[in-house]
Amino acid sequence: MIADQHEHELIWWGGRKALMNQSPTEEQLKAYDKKVYRAQVEMNAVMSGQLKGLGVPFFGVKPHLIADSESAASSRSVSASKAKLTQNELLKLQRRMVEYLEDMYKD
């Protein structure tokens, strides 16, 4: 997955460099950047799904365990068994898990 991500990043960067050599308008650059952003979001969703399918922790968290907002999570007067993660907390945990996997399975 890491190699695929890196390959896509190189392709996107190469495409942007090629576009820059053609003296693009600001609109063309914005359109290309939006296209790359959409592709990155899609790639992230696909990779998250693959990690979930592999049973990697924090990539299969049920939606009802995620707080709707920071304020909802901060009012944690409910019992610990009903506590919810914020989207930011979940993202941090997912990033830490990916870092761990990268360290363990490098090469």
Residue pLDDT, tens place only, 4-25: 999 999 999 999 999 999 999 9
**Counted domains in the chain:** 2
Q: Is residue 44 domain-shared with residue 9, that is, in the same domain? A: yes
Q: Is residue 37 domain-shared with residue 85, that is, in the same domain? A: no
Q: Is residue 71 domain-shared with residue 102, that is, in the same domain? A: yes
Give residue 75's domain range: 60-106
Contact 94, 59 (CB under 8 A): yes
Mean pLDDT for all residues in the chain: 89
Alpha-helix runs per DSSP H in the chain: 2-21, 26-53, 70-74, 87-104
- Residue the block writes with tokens 């990690």: 51
SS3 label, residue 81: helix
Contact 32, 59 (CB under 8 A): no
Q: Is residue 48 domain-shared with residue 65, that is, in the same domain? A: no
* 67, amino acid identity: A
Q: Is residue 37 domain-shared with residue 82, that is, in the same domain? A: no
Q: Is residue 47 domain-shared with residue 66, that is, in the same domain? A: no
pLDDT of residue 1: 85
The pTM of the whole model exceeds 0.85:
no
Q: Is residue 45 domain-shared with residue 4, that is, in the same domain? A: yes
pLDDT of residue 50: 95
pLDDT of residue 19: 94
**pLDDT of 71 strictly over 80:** no
